[in-house]
Homo-oligomer: A and B are copies of this chain.
Amino acid sequence: MANFLDFLSGWYTLFAMSRTSHRSRIHEALRLRLLRGEVGPDVRLVDHAIAAEMGVSRMPVREALMQLVSEGYLEGTSRGFALPNLSPERIAEVFVLRRLLEPHAVVCVARDRTVNDLLAMRDALALAESAKGDVAAFHRGAEAFRNAWLGAVRNNELRNAIQRYSGQVQSVRFATLPDPAARKIIVDGLKALLQAVEAQDGPHAHDLMLRFIYDAETAYAQIA
């Protein structure tokens, strides 16, 4: 069943985006799958298999995979590509990066956000809030919220730098999410953040984001 859906999806996108190269399409498709957490930590991505699944040759798949490696989404091993091994040290390093980049990024969002940006953030927040016990649905909402405010970052270099470690952020969130109290804290944090962005209160948004990241790190530290 899953194979059949993948097959349909593959051909749909092939027809819909036929102006772009196979490499770009596959890169984007794989990136979305990674961002949505559809690739487990022990899954090995192999060009042969993906090429057969997508109905193309190895070359575009291989190039897409290598691009994902150089973007930090994947790690090339001697036996297929896999999620980068996120050791506690690496998690801590990513949290340092987050504290450096994301507070400033939300300041820009608070300044430049459009009504569409606000709508996307509200929708995503509603999604996360409505998914009471459904961890997967909550996770999708949280990810949608992150993508929403990231989409409102006008500085492309900054946005790309942040998106490069989105895979790690996602994995950490997955680890933290099972705790209902953590989900409550996340929703409250996002709600406050959204209000600050709506009010275009840059400094407040900055502090809220910093606090949010700090809370996320301590929550993760208690688990691992």
* Chain A residues engaging chain B, CB cutoff 8 angstroms: 63, 66-67, 70-72, 90, 93-94, 96-97, 100-101, 104, 155-158, 160-161, 164-165
The answer to whether A100 touches B93, judged by C-beta atoms less than 8 angstroms apart, is no
CB-defined contacts of A63 to chain B, threshold 8 Å:
63, 66
A–B complex contacts, Cβ < 8 Å, 14 sampled: A70-B70, A93-B155, A94-B157, A96-B104, A96-B157, A100-B100, A100-B101, A100-B104, A100-B158, A101-B101, A157-B165, A161-B161, A161-B165, A164-B164
Least distance between A22 CB and chain B CB atoms (Å):
14
The CA-CA distance from A158 to B94 in the complex, in Å, is 8
The answer to whether A161 touches B164, judged by C-beta atoms less than 8 angstroms apart, is yes
Query: Which of B93, B101, B104, B156 is the one whose CB lies under 8 Å from A156?
Result: B93
CB-defined contacts of A70 to chain B, threshold 8 Å:
67, 70-71
Residue from A100, A101, A155, A161 whose CB has the most chain B CB atoms within 10 Å? A161
The CA-CA distance from A96 to B105 in the complex, in Å, is 10
Least distance between A69 CB and chain B CB atoms (Å):
9
Least distance between A124 CB and chain B CB atoms (Å):
25
The answer to whether B165 touches A93, judged by C-beta atoms less than 8 angstroms apart, is no
The CA-CA distance from A104 to B103 in the complex, in Å, is 14
Among residues of B, the one whose C-beta sits closest to the C-beta of A102 is B100
The CA-CA distance from A96 to B111 in the complex, in Å, is 15
CB-defined contacts of A93 to chain B, threshold 8 Å:
155-158
CB-defined contacts of A161 to chain B, threshold 8 Å:
97, 161, 164-165
